[in-house]
Amino acid sequence: MAEDDLRGDGDAEREMDVERTRIAHELIGRVNGLPATAVPDALCRACANLLPEMSGLSVSVLGSGTSTGVVLCASDEVASRLAEIQYTLGEGPGVEAIRLRAPVFATDLGAPPDSRRWPLFSVQAARAGAAAAFSLPLTGAGAALGTLDLYRDAPGSLPVDRVRTALLVADAVTLAVVALDHASPDPEGVVTWLSGAETDREEVHQATGMIMVQLGVSAEEALLRLRARAFAQGSTAVEVARAVLRRSLDLRDD
Measure the CA dihedral 92/95/99/102, to 10°.
Answer: 70
User: Distance between CA 85 and CA 109 in Å, rounded?
Assistant: 14
CA distance 213 to 222: 9
Helix (H/G/I), strand (E/B), else coil: 3: helix
Q: What is the spatial distance between Cα 58 and Cα 70, in angstroms, rounded to a whole number?
A: 10
The predicted pLDDT at position 5 comes to 46
Structure letter (DSSP) for residue 159:
P
Is residue 250 within 8 Å of 241, Cβ to Cβ?
Answer: no
> What pLDDT shows up at residue 68?
60
Environment class of 95 (CB within 10 Å of its CB; exposed 0-12, middle 13-18, buried 19+): buried
DSSP, res 186: S
The string of pLDDT tens digits covering residues 10-50 is 677 788 888 888 888 888 788 777 776 787 888 899 999 99
Percentage of the chain beyond pLDDT 70 is 80
Alpha carbon 187 to its chain centroid, in Å, reads 26
- CATH 3.30.450.40 in the chain: give the residue spans: 2-189
Say yes or no to pLDDT of 69 above 70.
no
Residues counted in the chain: 254
Query: What do you get for the CA distance between the two ends of the chain, in Å?
Result: 72
Does domain 2-189 fall under CATH 3.30.450.40? My reply is yes
**Average pLDDT along the chain:** 81
CATH 1.10.10-classified regions of the chain? 200-253
More confident position, 193 or 62 = 62
DSSP string, 31-48: HTTS-GGGHHHHHHHHHH
Q: For 163-190, what is the mean pLDDT? A: 69
Q: What percent of the chain has pLDDT over 90?
A: 36
Sign of the four-CA dihedral 140, 8, 23, 165: negative
CATH 1.10.10 corresponds to the domain 200-253: yes
Q: What is the pLDDT of residues 87-129, one digit of tens each?
A: 888 899 999 999 999 999 999 999 999 999 999 999 999 999 9
Task: Report which secondary-structure segment, H or E, holds 144.
Answer: strand 143-152
Mean pLDDT lowest for which of 66-75, 101-110, 155-164, 240-249?
66-75
Measured CA to CA, the distance from residue 120 to residue 56 in angstroms comes to: 21
d(CA 62, CA 145): 6
Q: How confident is the model at residue 144 (pLDDT cuts 50, 70, 90)?
A: confident
Average pLDDT over residues 220-238: 77
